[in-house]
Structure 1
């Protein structure tokens, strides 16, 4: 099973790369924000608990987030793997994710972080803000704060995965296809079977 922790600051192109990786490797995209909204909408026990905390202005504890990821793993047992989008953000979360995946007989294959300088991120997000309608994409101060938070969080988690020889940093500036190719090279090295399956599928499409 191919399990990728994909990190990148706001505006690094993480969403674009996620969609391409999902299509190539048949992965399931797990975004904690999406999971949270889905659980709340469905009115599950975890969702109701999370909503109560959020309504009180409190952060959703790690155990609730891990519980939601656990539910997603059970619902997608036939998946070829998962992309963990923006999670884990702390070392305790990374440790919890390792334990959870071990219970399902798998582990994190690698962590890939897309690196982009802050001035480029600000430029991209302000441009995106013209069409996204998101207030936090239209304010340079808010953008800088988001990038600072990301860098602080990633530094901790990067060290955790680096100790396991699973951390890979890539330049997030360049041609989308070139960056995608670099990510695929990393994944193929981690998961030879996934590479063979992907190459076979590509040949069939070309044929």
Structure 2
């Protein structure tokens, strides 16, 4: 009797293997063959699911999007604390989020010159913008912001802050990167108050 394959588990294995290859070897090292080796599955089997490198790269973008979205949906609470939790989820404060950011940066660099990846890169970028907008709406609804603020400008400003902070945290040698990030984010929220 043939062995049944759990496709979700297989996709998790493939995604984790592709991320390890991207973190270790960079975008130049990402190939169907290398990911198959890393996942310990047959290259032909992986090639059926991902016939091209572009398909594998888009799959990696989708995995990041799905992972971040699931974590954001799991956030509870309200007001300032909920806003802080949403922002923390976009920062490389643990191995998973650090890996996702490195993978995103590797793939986004390629998307600058590869039209087939541009939409996937833009989707992630726009997703961060939507989270920033939700953060500001959450803060506004809890009375933590000046009601005269321009929401579009503040969304852009928060997006830029989070992008910059994420890059700084990649190179952080501090013993408390989460504490450092929280101090920056709390100070930013304070500047939004009435």
> Could you tell me the TM-score, scaled by structure 1's length?
0.27
The higher-RCO structure (CA 8 Å, 6+ apart) is 1
Between Structure 1 and Structure 2, the one with more helix by share is 2
Greater C-alpha radius of gyration: 2
> Could you tell me the TM-score, scaled by structure 2's length?
0.28
